[in-house]
Amino acid sequence: MTWLPLFAALVGAVIALGTALLVERRRERREDRIERRRTKQDLYGRFLAAHAHTRAQLRILADTSDLSDGERANRARAAYAGCYAPRYELEVLAPESVLAPALVFDQRAKALRDLVIEGTRIQAQGEDQMREYLDSLKIVRTAMRADLGPNENKGR
């Protein structure tokens, strides 16, 4: 009996197994990248949506003159409360290139909240703070888009 056919079969099996494992590993990596991207997209969307809702609520509060100081402060704090959870998630999941501008943006949102608590009308007296807030928003959006990279689903 010759060992050559048995050896060839064994080498073929090793090659087939190695190829199958390599293909499976690449597929898992691709799926992991896609899942991470989806998770970040969802998180970034929640973060921006929470801040958009807060901004809208703060503008309404700033224009509402029939509120007591205490009630205005409570409503302003409640409007901002929805921003905490997405920010904490961002601190865990986002890279520093997104986190740093997001935290600056969040500070700008708190500054607007504090203006409303003080009774400042954002549109009339808080123009500089609103401009800084909107500029920070643009920087955060740009950082988030850069982190997500090119859209893999374009053209499909």
Digit-coded pLDDT (tens) for 33-85? 889 999 999 999 999 999 999 999 988 888 887 888 889 899 999 999 999 99
Yes or no: say if 72 and 119 are a contact pair by the CB < 8 Å rule. Answer: yes
Model confidence at 155: pLDDT above 50? no
Name the band, by pLDDT with cuts 50, 70 and 90, for residue 156: very low
From the list 57, 84, 50, 53, the residue with the least C-alpha distance to 72 is 57
Model confidence at 153: pLDDT above 80? no
State the pLDDT at residue 124: 62
Mean pLDDT of 12-25: 88
d(CA 156, CA 154): 6
Yes or no: say if 47 and 90 are a contact pair by the CB < 8 Å rule. Answer: yes
State the pLDDT at residue 144: 95
Yes or no: say if 104 and 136 are a contact pair by the CB < 8 Å rule. Answer: yes
d(CA 69, CA 50): 24
Q: Per-residue pLDDT tens for 96-127?
A: 999 999 999 999 999 999 988 887 676 666 68
